[in-house]
Amino acid sequence: MLRLVLLALLHPLHTTHTTITQGSANGCAIEIRAFTDDLQAALRRRGAGLSDSSVAQYLRATVSLVDPRGRPAALHWVGQSPDGDVTQLRFACVLPAPMEAMSVRQGMQLELYADQVNVVQVRMAQRRVSLLFTPGDMAKPVR
């Protein structure tokens, strides 16, 4: 038992936490908390660094909100800020349909780690929806 506990403590945690907050009928704010070293590894794999443009490009390739007709939400880079060993990443978005009709994909770092887990919480006026993404997962409806 002690051996299992020690192995769990030694094994790094590969996760992100995303909060999507609906601010209006057609707008939302996206905040992603990612371990900085994992984010840097994903960017290095693409031959990029932690610059705003590189991070924004990576996020647009791995995070999406799409309506039932396949129209993506427009993601507008707001910025990033370090917070200890975590980096906070922020986008504003314009939704092509009501949030309840959207599907979300959070694929950050899924290409790197077999144990990657991305938690997404969608906050709407009347309710909250939690989604979980692991390698192999496609977009999931907010419903």
The ranges assigned to domains in the chain are 13-141
DSSP per residue over 64-106, as a string?
EEE-TTSPBPEEEEEEEEEETTEEEEEEEEE-SS-GGG-EEEE
Q: pLDDT tens digits, residue range 97-116?
A: 999 999 999 999 999 999 99
Burial level of 24, CB count in 10 A (0-12/13-18/19+)?
exposed
Q: Name the residue among 64, 40, 76 with its Cα closest to residue 141.
A: 64
Q: What angle do CA 84, 120, 39 make, to 5 degrees?
A: 40
Give me the amino acid identity at 24: S
Q: pLDDT tens digits, residue range 55-91?
A: 999 999 999 999 999 999 999 999 999 998 999 999 9
* Whole-number percent of the chain with pLDDT over 90: 83
Q: How far is CA 19 from the centre of its chain?
A: 8
Identify the top-confidence range among 11-15, 21-25, 125-129. 125-129
Long-range contacts, 57-61 (Cβ 8 Å, 24+): 58/108, 59/32, 59/89, 59/91, 59/108
Residues linked to residue 75 through DSSP beta bridges, in sequence order: 93
Residue 46 pLDDT = 92
